[in-house]
Amino acid sequence: MHRTELSDPAGVRWTPGTHHGVGALVLGGSSGRVDEQRARLLAEQGVLAESIQWFGGPGQHEGPWEIPLETFAARVTALAAACDRVVVAGVSYGAEAALATACLTDAPVAAVAAFAPTDVMWAGLDADGRQTAHWTLDGVPLPHVRYDERWTPDTDPPSYVGLYRASRAVDPDGVAAATLPVERIPELLVVAGDDDQVWPAREQAEEIVLRRASYGLATTLVADPEAGHRAILPGEDVVAAGQRMARGGTEEADRRLGAAAWDALLALVAPTR
């Protein structure tokens, strides 16, 4: 395999020794890190895989707010130039980015693997702590569900799953406007732990499944009742990056979820679909 540093935005591309025609864009979540390890795992399977830093880098916002979806669409297009099909795999906010890119832009995304997904677009907090959109398209902030500012955590470290549930409950119109049209995605894998303490990933995954089913579309759902926010794929290390918060699960359960998800992910990036 060959490793190449990317710039504008910063990132890494892993080129397999034998490329079977599938490309993958791997997106990390709110930690802001480049998910190089997951990209390399896919490259070991013959996938042309890359991961980028999408905030916190040169010329980027410090945090995940008003991020142009064109950032991701451009990398998908670059991969498509060398591949027969491109899959976007993201976790948490990265899953939100993957889903939004696939269903709101013209990027040639063949499939999405959404780990700890969301069915709606959420607010981001800008440098002054004000709520704004996570994403923009053509320079315009996209609809988003605002956080319930009356909510306060009652655990230490804080669990935010209650914040997301409360925010949905107080703003049903916002939820409707910010719901992702996931029926536009050709193939979709969603992976969720029932004990996710960051946000209600299993509930949000079920909403995705139900919406697609209403359009006659199948969705692959991989879940585990004891896993938390971070599924650990076979061969991956435990990630400790990101802000201090409760994430739920146990290493054993998170690895079990990751093992089940890995089989489904390999099917998604198989050269013949």
| Farthest-apart Cα atoms in the chain, separation | 54
Global pTM reads 0.96
> What CA–CA distance (Å, rounded) separates 189 from 178?
20
Q: Please report which confidence band the pLDDT of residue 243 belongs to, taking 50, 70 and 90 as the band edges.
A: confident
Cis peptide upstream of residue 9 (ω within 30 degrees of 0): yes
pLDDT of residue 185: 98
> What CA–CA distance (Å, rounded) separates 273 from 268?
8
> What CA–CA distance (Å, rounded) separates 209 from 230?
20
- Tens of pLDDT, residues 73-120: 999 999 999 999 999 999 999 999 999 999 999 999 999 999 999 999
Q: Please report which confidence band the pLDDT of residue 244 belongs to, taking 50, 70 and 90 as the band edges.
A: confident
Q: Is the pLDDT of residue 239 over 80?
A: no
Q: What average pLDDT is seen over the chain?
A: 95
Q: How far is CA 88 from the centre of its chain?
A: 8
> What CA–CA distance (Å, rounded) separates 231 from 3?
25
Q: Is the pLDDT of residue 167 over 80?
A: yes
Q: Is the pLDDT of residue 245 over 80?
A: no
User: Which residue would you say has higher pLDDT here, 262 or 272?
Assistant: 262
Phi, psi for residue 89 in degrees, rounded to 5: -120, 125
Q: Is the pLDDT of residue 177 over 70?
A: yes
- Tens of pLDDT, residues 195-204: 999 999 999 9
Secondary structure (3-state) at 2: strand
Domain 2-267 has CATH 3.30.950.10: no
| Residue type for position 242 | G
